[in-house]
Amino acid sequence: MANKMYKRRLVIAATTLDKDTGKWIARVTISHTMYLPLSFDTEQEAEAFGLKFATDYIDERDEKTPDSF
């Protein structure tokens, strides 16, 4: 796995070997913006915040982007 910061975005590249074909498969994740980490007292609070943040972020982007389906 490799990662780097590029224009305030985290790029993560991971590879796996397809044993049937012998070819490598690349998977890339690009975060839209890096945010400073926040601290929480419990794991449940941190997870709840992460899920809420993600759903709010997705909803906001969906409002700005027309459906393609």
pLDDT score at 33: 61
Q: What is the pLDDT along the chain (69 residues), one digit of tens a residue?
A: 788 888 777 788 888 998 999 999 888 887 766 565 678 888 899 888 878 887 887 788 777 766 554
Q: What is the value of pTM for the model shown? A: 0.45
Tell me, what amino acid is at 34?
M
DSSP summary character for residue 44: H
pLDDT score at 57: 75
18's tokens: 């397809």
Rounded to whole angstroms, how far apart are CA atoms 51 and 53?
5
Report yes or no: 34 and 23 within 8 Å, Cβ to Cβ.
no
